[in-house]
Structure 1
Amino acid sequence: MTNQNKIKLNWLTVIILIIFWGVCASFYPYLPDQVPTHWNIKGEVDNYSHKSVAAFILPLLPLGIYLLMTFIPKIDPKKENYLKFASSYEKIRLATVALMVVLNLFTLLVGLGYDINISLMVRIAIPLLIIVIGNYMGKVRYNYTLGFRLPWTLASEEVWNKTHRLGGKLMVAGGLVALLGVFTPPSMGFALVMVGILLPIVVTTVYSFLSYQKLRVDE
């Protein structure tokens, strides 16, 4: 990926954030004093916050994620390796920020009175993010921040690469399983999301351990 393309992706993320904050500010005068900000596993509202929190505090999360993911590569002891997967990193950051922006906007729209099934939106958004990240996880190179940071991957770059190639594929498969939750009741849907998240982590962790043990035997 050329430096120019990296800059374009970064600016796209920045533009999304600027538009997002502009929308939040424009919505603020029309929001009721109390806005739904949390839903239980059944999709029922179980917490309200003042409109200033919904319009200006909660939106700090996507901005915080952007700033954190911008700063981390600069202090990571393996920061030179980020250049090897710069394209994947930029796309993962963009997808993560976009997800948080979309969920925040849905929250504000509910506050404005629109009938939006937040539970369904979450069951769609999270699996899609898992699939996107999984698609690029196999390209993530050895670092101390992003990826499957396990004792065995951090101890061997070879194990790191093998683990991330498998883990990325399992994340995509897990995301597809989680998407099945769209067609089920909310409680079952969230159960499928958890399976889609946790199963790839468990299998990848075991694979990483076994790969490291095999590498030690071969040596």
Structure 2
Amino acid sequence: MKQYDFPKELLIILLLLVPMIYLGIIWPHIPEMVGTNYTTDGVPGRIGSKNEVLLLMIFLFLTNFLLYCLFRYIPKTDEMPDHTSGYRRAYFRTRFLIHLYLAVYTSLLIFLIDIGKEFLLERWAFVGVGLLIAVLGFYLGTLKPNNFIGVRTPWTLLSTAVWEETHKMASRLWIIAGVVIMACGFFMQVVAAVFVVIVIAAIISVLPYIYSYRLYNTNQG
């Protein structure tokens, strides 16, 4: 990591940690049993243990952390030449906004727990992540070939046509994944929904890679 990048990376890391620190502070005061999925009449749809709250928060933290690793280490920004400083700044702003969104969103959910307003907790946790994935999916569909962000496989970087087709596919895939993740919050229990989201995360990460490989080799005949 270049020296002038260190303060920026530290800022993003702090955004990752703030919600978990906040949760650690209020954790002793959270009741053992917590009502979730409230109806419009203010009646909890079910009562769960506070360990389920912890599972949801870990899920949100890991989502934030995985996105950090994805955007921090792919591409290797340390190797970007100096003349790309404008792209570097734009790339950092994109990363910063993603992590700021998740930090604020997670902290808001924790605040609602802290004041005893766990209204639709499970639903909103998955809606927030699903919405982010869908927005990123739309963003993928607008990307032009570059060495900084997107589905940067050896085959998309070698062919503009493969880049465009792969990103169209990845865009649709991520948008659908976002909608499915949002639906998980409404129709599934926490543990099952988290498991489904992990599977979805693997699919949307691996499938565009495989697709670009197959498409490139098909085009090459």
Settle same-fold status: TM greater than 0.5.
yes
Q: CA RMSD in A?
A: 4.7
Q: Does 1:100 align with 2:100?
A: no
- The 8 Å contact of residues 125 and 185 in structure 2, kept in 1 or not, is answered as no
Which one of 184, 194, 216 corresponds to residue 212 of structure 1? 216
Q: Which runs of 5+ in 2 are unaligned?
A: 1-14, 35-45
Other-structure match for 1:143:
147
- The 8 Å contact of residues 92 and 136 in structure 1, kept in 2 or not, is answered as no
Count of equivalent residues: 179
Which one of 152, 155, 158 corresponds to residue 152 of structure 1? 155
Q: Distance in 2 between matches of 1:143 and 1:185?
A: 39
Residues 142 and 157 of structure 1: is their aligned pair in 2 closer, same or farther, counting only changes over 3 Å? farther
Other-structure match for 1:45:
50
Residues 32 and 132 of structure 1: is their aligned pair in 2 closer, same or farther, counting only changes over 3 Å? closer
Residues 113 and 209 of structure 1: is their aligned pair in 2 closer, same or farther, counting only changes over 3 Å? same
Give SS of 1:46's match. Answer: helix
Q: Which runs of 5+ in 1 are unaligned?
A: 1-16
Q: Distance in 2 between matches of 1:201 and 1:35?
A: 36
Q: Distance in 2 between matches of 1:81 and 1:164?
A: 23
Residues 118 and 149 of structure 1: is their aligned pair in 2 closer, same or farther, counting only changes over 3 Å? farther
Which one of 129, 132, 135 corresponds to residue 132 of structure 2? 129
Other-structure match for 1:199:
203
Name the TM-score, length of structure 1 as normaliser. 0.56
More deviation, 198-207/150-159? 150-159
Other-structure match for 2:169:
166
- The 8 Å contact of residues 123 and 182 in structure 1, kept in 2 or not, is answered as yes
How far residue 102 of structure 1 moved from its aligned partner, in angstroms, is: 1.0
Give SS of 1:123's match. Answer: helix
| 1:42-81 equivalent positions in 2, closer than 5 A | 44-46=49-51, 75=78, 77=80
Name the TM-score, length of structure 2 as normaliser. 0.56
More deviation, 92-101/164-173? 92-101
- Superposed CA deviations along residues 111-153 of structure 1, whole A, max 9, x for unmatched, are 3333245432221111101001000012154225x33233433
Q: Percent identity?
A: 22
Q: Which fold has the larger relative contact order, with Cα–Cα distance below 8 Å and residues 6 or more apart in sequence?
A: 2
